[in-house]
Structure 1
Amino acid sequence: MIADSSRAAGQVRADAARNRQTLLAAATRVFAGSDDEPSMREIARAAGVGVGTLYRHFPTREALVDAVYQDQVGRLTTGARELLAEHPPAEALRRWMDLFAQWLATKHGMTDTLLAMVDTGEISLAHTRRELLTAIGTILDAGAEAGQIRADVRAEDVSSAILGLLAVAGKREDTEQAARLLDLLMDGLRPR
């Protein structure tokens, strides 16, 4: 009897975790595809669940925005290590730049809420910046050691360059230009 109840509880937890991931993935897609902040109902519909299920996992818009934001930052930081494990450092960095561009696109439909949360201190940009710079630095160090990326490149400079390029070509209709600009940046990071 005890084994059955613990198995049932484990199944409920697994189902809840899957539901949460489904909701996060749907919210990420909806936020990235929207210029305005979508309604919670719209996000629930995209996830194929009722709005009550969405609110059970994320009781407020801020809770959902924070979860999507943190999930995406986590994907960027783990993505750096995963890309390095699968690709040479220069290629890993260029692919990571694409992940970063996708992360910025995700924030399109949640900008107002995100900015309000930054203003109240609910989200720390300083912490996010440190995590992202560490991810970039990991790839840069591996690239310098392999002779694929210039040794004098700083993570702060790469981050600023990516942000600047995507500020110019970060809209959905600018993806080809963004890719060309990121390729040019990557060419400038290679040793001469």
Structure 2
Amino acid sequence: MSARRPGRHGKATPPPQATRPLRADAQRNRDRLVEVAGLLFAQHGIDTSLEQIAERARVGIGTLYRHFPTREHLVEAVYRHEVEALCQAAEDLARKFPPDKALAEWMRRFVDYIAAKRGMANSLKLLLAGNSEFFAEASGKIPAAVQGLVDAAIAQGSIRSDIDSSDVLHALSGIYNLPQTHDWRERSRRLITLLMDGLRSGARKPEL
């Protein structure tokens, strides 16, 4: 049996308690808060009031603070959710559509991810400085997700074979730097159409 470490006043401190899973209703509230916060951050930026987020999620502000003691905790949860949703979308789209269409649709989903990330940009910079390992792990999942879509489209012969996920993501990163105008999303979708036209140019069907 391992001994307990003495506390500040010489008394033994109890071992840390394991995190208990949330009740079903508490988990639903947490999930709804993250979803609503992501939408509002994307639309109005990080300065969206926590009271407004709680109201839209149909919970009290006390419930929000129980799940997310600070705005930074909420931002980190939203970022994690956006990354996981984007990666899950790659799997879902690959099952639903032909490879090139799945890739195109995934890139449109990426625009929504960019919108949320832009809305949280300032807070993400602060969080990155204090939790770079988390962001490296989360962001590293995205290239792997899109690489599967790219590989499938290349194998089908619907896009050119001399590109990989990093090429696609670098091209998409230009959308992040577009001015935040009223037609930003529409312009982003037009750029994705142009990008897909370029990816399809020179594609060759595999020889049987």
TM-score by length of 2: 0.81
Letter in 2 for 1:40: L
Letter in 1 for 2:68: F
Contact 1:35–1:108 (CA under 8 A) maintained in structure 2: yes
| Cα distance change, pair 174–130 in 1 and its aligned pair in 2 (3 A) | same
CA offset at residue 127 of structure 1?
2.3
Q: Deviations over 1:157-182 (max 9, x none)?
A: 11000111342266552222211111
Provide the residue aligned with 2:113 in structure 1: 103
Contact 1:117–1:123 (CA under 8 A) maintained in structure 2: no
Provide the residue aligned with 1:188 in structure 2: 198
Structure 2 residue 45 is the aligned partner of structure 1 residue 31: no
Using the alignment, how far apart are the partners of 1:15 and 1:110 within structure 2?
Answer: 27
Structure with higher helix content:
1
Query: Please, which runs of 5 or more residues in structure 2 have no aligned partner?
Result: 1-20, 203-208
Number of residue pairs matched by the alignment = 182
Contact 1:38–1:109 (CA under 8 A) maintained in structure 2: no
Q: Deviations over 1:61-119 (max 9, x none)?
A: 11111110000000111110110000011111111111111011112332221110011
1:114 to 120, 124, 127: 124
Provide the residue aligned with 2:12 in structure 1: none
Using the alignment, how far apart are the partners of 1:36 and 1:70 within structure 2?
Answer: 16
TM-score by length of 1: 0.87
Letter in 1 for 2:57: A
Contact 1:37–1:111 (CA under 8 A) maintained in structure 2: no
Alpha-carbon RMSD across the aligned residues, in angstroms, is 1.9
Structure 2 residue 126 is the aligned partner of structure 1 residue 78: no
Residue correspondence of structure 1 range 3-22 to structure 2 within 5 A: 13-22=23-32
Using the alignment, how far apart are the partners of 2:65 and 2:112 within structure 1?
Answer: 26
Provide the residue aligned with 1:40 in structure 2: 50
Contact 2:54–2:61 (CA under 8 A) maintained in structure 1: yes
Provide the residue aligned with 2:62 in structure 1: 52
| Cα distance change, pair 72–113 in 1 and its aligned pair in 2 (3 A) | same
Letter in 1 for 2:191: L
Percent sequence identity over aligned pairs: 39
Residue correspondence of structure 1 range 147-158 to structure 2 within 5 A: 147-158=157-168
Contact 1:37–1:112 (CA under 8 A) maintained in structure 2: no
| Cα distance change, pair 44–52 in 1 and its aligned pair in 2 (3 A) | same
Contact 1:31–1:38 (CA under 8 A) maintained in structure 2: yes
Which structure would you say has the larger Rg? Answer: 2
Letter in 1 for 2:86: L
| Cα distance change, pair 154–170 in 1 and its aligned pair in 2 (3 A) | farther
Structure 2 residue 184 is the aligned partner of structure 1 residue 174: yes
Letter in 1 for 2:74: L
